[in-house]
Chains A and B, each alone.
Chain A
């Protein structure tokens, strides 16, 4: 009984230390020159030019399904698909961007979180956030294949090649991985370059957020010149009447924010976005973990407990056998 009391006390002490311990880590701030993309679902016409361009830039084969070798039939992100256009359908699906009896396209690709969960859970720094551009990169040379990143990502982005003997993790690296380096060379992502409507727009996170806020301020029917390519130096514009945007920029605050922002006329829970608070999972987990291990407190307490038990059991006491 005594030992049990001791362990209870030790556990309580740890919890106390955790709550009263070092300050919780706040969400990370966006990288100083954070780049990203703005996906405007109301502009997407579903041409899938971005999907083809992505595969071309990243040298990935089309996914063939059901013997239909004529076209790419990727249904979700995978080891061979870093970007996919999905559809939301309701009822007759007749009206674009309507929640009832309508349809809406949604892009799935890495959101490039400001405070990425995959980086936080990676035990061997195979996932990294670029300190300057904020791009979340994957480095297969140090990856041990634990697939923690797949669990740590709220958007289900990193994908493992289960069908290969030596499978690897694959995810969008904003066309800046070694051998491609489009961003470092002053270019833009393949998908933003190919997009004919500017639904996928490239640029700095700050400029994209500004653009998204401008669109939020539009009244439905206002004619707005939509830029294409890079929002900071668009290669062209096209004029279009603004839709009834939902006043929500996904990625402005969600789980610490993302560098890839989404806006839409259909609410994001219908577009498969997870319910996320403003606090990032990485900051919560790291706060707890780092507090428990603060000043080596937990190991020290555990060691003290163990020492007590061992001494008690191996000492010259007469009731050594009881336990």
Chain B
């Protein structure tokens, strides 16, 4: 007990975060991951133990550094401190203080020393046309660097839509042949945290899970952690009742838009985009700050084949139907038809059977009489 207290006081010194705030943060992350409250303590212990910090190699490809920027601006208490102390960020092209040969050497050394133990984070798309010549760092192509770093990584996380499925660079005509990390690293498990920019909470939650349990959280067929990308935005959207009731905003600033009606007719991609935006919102400022919350239709930034692919005002496909959207089958005739007819047939069959049985019995009796007589 005393030991743990010391651990936390050490953490307080290290991060400049009070023990209470830190535990609150861990509980919040555990809750958003859908883990029991005991997991919060396990996470807190894992974070407080500096020996468990995994080294991280962070690569940047074709992108705008949006994911790193959103991560730096994530919630209080000063999460950049926490994230930098939670992991041992040994190589990051935009955050590293050093430059040139010095950092490249550090990267090579860390990768060699921590073979099979480091976490690889990829940010940005990887061009593959013309041997990946369109994106070079320290004289090497991003394509080569990705394969090199992925070979001995303990886990690979693709952070942002570009790294997850190609992002804006991969939109037609895609002159550089930009691809996401899962397409480039075929055969390897890549956890994807798509979004443009991605929600930092989804990244922190996944990394904390990895640090705490030493394995990656359950993921779907596109590598997305199920706790964050398990449901369509449409399913959790607070404008959904308007969709169900047929109340749609038809243009920006019209009556329906001012009243907060459903944005489907304006091209909202919520019905085909998997993300947890309706529950987490964005930037941790509250007050419904996320695209649909402020009255703009969802753009589908985190969904490959939707964001940067479908026109803004094109209608989305409604991918799933959950209650109250339950549909009667074509043959369903409701109470008046199907059930009534079925009951009638049953009653008819019963009457018929009774009649038949009586007739048979009568004949049998008759025959018996004749035999006796």
Using a CB–CB cutoff of 8 Å, the interface residues on chain A facing chain B are 45-50, 52-53, 70-78, 84-89, 96, 105-106, 156, 159, 162, 194, 196-197, 235-236, 238-240, 270-272
Residues of B within 8 A of A84 (CB): 328
For B315, give the chain A residue with the smallest CB separation. Answer: A238
B264 contacts partner chain A, Cβ-Cβ < 8 Å: yes
Please tell me if the beta carbons of B333 and A75 are within 8 angstroms of each other in the complex.
yes
B250 contacts partner chain A, Cβ-Cβ < 8 Å: yes
Q: Which of A49, A162, A236 has the most CB of B within 10 A?
A: A49
Residues of B within 8 A of A45 (CB): 271, 315, 317-318
Q: Which of B328-362 contact A (CB under 8 A)?
A: 328-337
Residue total for B at the interface (Cβ-Cβ under 8 A): 33
Please tell me if the beta carbons of A85 and B334 are within 8 angstroms of each other in the complex.
no
| Whole-angstrom distance between the Cβ of B337 and the nearest chain A Cβ | 6
B286 contacts partner chain A, Cβ-Cβ < 8 Å: no
Please tell me if the beta carbons of A52 and B244 are within 8 angstroms of each other in the complex.
yes
Please tell me if the beta carbons of A75 and B332 are within 8 angstroms of each other in the complex.
yes
Q: CA separation between A47 and B319, bound complex, in Å? A: 11
Residues of A within 8 A of B311 (CB): 239
| Whole-angstrom distance between the Cβ of A313 and the nearest chain B Cβ | 40
Residues of A within 8 A of B326 (CB): 73
B313 contacts partner chain A, Cβ-Cβ < 8 Å: yes
| Whole-angstrom distance between the Cβ of A191 and the nearest chain B Cβ | 9
| Whole-angstrom distance between the Cβ of B308 and the nearest chain A Cβ | 16
Please tell me if the beta carbons of B265 and A76 are within 8 angstroms of each other in the complex.
no
Please tell me if the beta carbons of A47 and B246 are within 8 angstroms of each other in the complex.
yes
For A70, give the chain B residue with the smallest CB separation. Answer: B324
**0/1 per residue, B252-274, Cβ < 8 Å to A?**
00000000000011010001000
- 25 chain-A/chain-B pairs, Cβ below 8 angstroms: A47-B318, A48-B244, A48-B325, A49-B243, A49-B246, A52-B246, A74-B328, A74-B334, A75-B332, A75-B333, A75-B335, A76-B332, A78-B335, A78-B336, A88-B330, A96-B317, A106-B330, A194-B246, A194-B248, A196-B246, A196-B248, A197-B315, A238-B315, A239-B311, A270-B330
For B318, give the chain A residue with the smallest CB separation. Answer: A45
- Of B244, B250, B334, B336, which is within 8 A of A47 by CB? B244
With A48-B325, A236-B250 known as contacts, the answer to whether A71 contacts B315 (CB < 8 A) is: no
